[in-house]
Every structure is written in C-alpha cells, then in structure tokens.
Amino acid sequence: MTTVCLASFLIAMGGALDETAAAAPQSVIQPIQSQPVGSAIPQPPDSAAAVGEFTRAAELYLEQADYLGATEALLAGLELSGANLGSDPRLAGMLTQALFLGAESGQMMPYLDRVNQLYPEWPPLPVLKARSLLYLGELDAAKVLIDRALQAAPEDPIANAVMIDGLRLIGELEEARESTAQLLERRPLPPWLVEHLHEVQAELSS
C-alpha cells in the first residue's frame, strides 16, 4: 500500500484520526528490498515524524479492534522507514497483536505475505501465518508450522496460543482447557494475549 492510499483512507475515517491523517506524507512510497530483522535503511529527514503518525493511527485501530486498519498503518510505516523490528519491541508487539487477532477475519494472508517480503526472518512470522491458516480451514498446513515453532521454542507464548486455537478447532477441548490454564500461569505475557486467553478460557468453560 502506498502512503498516499493510506493517507486518503485515514482522512476518510474522520474524527479521532483527522490529525493523524493530516500529518501523513504525500509522496508515493517505493517498496523497499527485503531487510534482515536486525537491520534498517537510512530514513529521510522527515520520516521519523511520519512513522510516528502511522504508529499512533495503528494504536487507535487496535483500540477499536480494527486489526486490518492497524496492520495497514504499521506496514505503511515500515515501508516508509525500513524500521528495525528486531530492535523495536513496541512496533513488533503491535504488529504481532494485529496479525494474531486479525487472523479470525480470514483476511490477513496478503499482509503476512507483505511482512515476509520486508522481514522474512522475523521470528513470529511462521506461527502468525499458522493462525491465519487455521481460520482458513488449512489445518494440516497450520499444524506443520505450529509443530515446527514449538520444536524451536517450546515456551513461546504466541506459538502455544496458536496451538490452543488448533486444539479447539479439532475438538480437543479438554487439552485446550489445560493448555490455556498453563499458559495463563506464565508471566509476563502481553496484556492483549492475557485478555484473549481469558476469552478462550470462558468459551471453553461454557
């Protein structure tokens, strides 16, 4: 997505996003080449402020549970700045949240593909793709990615949360309940993930 397209989209939102949209740059973004997670490309003098506006827009979208809008805003900022996901935990956390929670919409695969173009080595990417595959009905392909992620990092909370989703979808509800309770005992977890797991727990208990 170009910055011009996103700026127009933000302007159309009105209200709380007017200030953010007005600050968005008006030049067309040229796609950047794939970047290692630990690297960043030089930024134009005004890009840091523009990226900040996209990040604030993404925060508003997340508050409204608009995960597509949040992802679009974050990716626009990434394309503009070549931001370093490996050294920016806040940006990486917001993108993880948007891609994880947005998976149930069935509309996140194009965004995951774009992230893969920008940062193919970003560690959460395979398991975030797995969650989208689950909600697209591609359970076998998702299981391969989940198993691989858990083999590499058995304690990873995102991978375990996606595993729980897989258990729910195949009807392994008792194992899903136990796994959810165990995951909630771990701290710290991102607040959004704790909220999600409590919702899963309530659903499994009903």
Task: Report DSSP letters for the chain, one per residue.
Answer: --HHHHHHHHHHH-GGGHHHHHHS--SPPPPPPP--TT--PPPPTTHHHHHHHHHHHHHHHHHTT-HHHHHHHHHHHHHHH---GGG-HHHHHHHHHHHHHGGGGT--HHHHHHHHHH-TT-TTHHHHHHHHHHHTT-HHHHHHHHHHHHHH-TT-HHHHHHHHHHHHHTT-HHHHHHHHHHHHTSS---HHHHHHHHHHHHHHH-
Provide the whole-model pTM. 0.77
Query: Would you state the pLDDT for residue 42?
Result: 47
Query: Would you state the pLDDT for residue 10?
Result: 42
What is the spatial distance between Cα 9 and Cα 202, in angstroms, rounded to a whole number? 36
Q: How many residues are present in the chain?
A: 206
Query: Would you state the pLDDT for residue 35?
Result: 47
Query: Would you state the pLDDT for residue 138?
Result: 97
Query: Would you state the pLDDT for residue 17?
Result: 41
Query: Would you state the pLDDT for residue 182?
Result: 96
What is the spatial distance between Cα 69 and Cα 62, in angstroms, rounded to a whole number? 8
Q: Which residues of 86-112 are buried (b: 16+ CB within 10 A; e: fewer)?
A: bebeebbebbbbbbbbbbeeeebeebb
CB atoms within 10 A of CB 53: 22
* Encoded amino acid at 42, one letter: P
Query: Would you state the pLDDT for residue 96?
Result: 97
pLDDT, block means (10 residues), the chain with 206 residues: 43 43 37 45 58 91 97 90 74 96 97 93 96 97 97 96 97 96 92 97 92
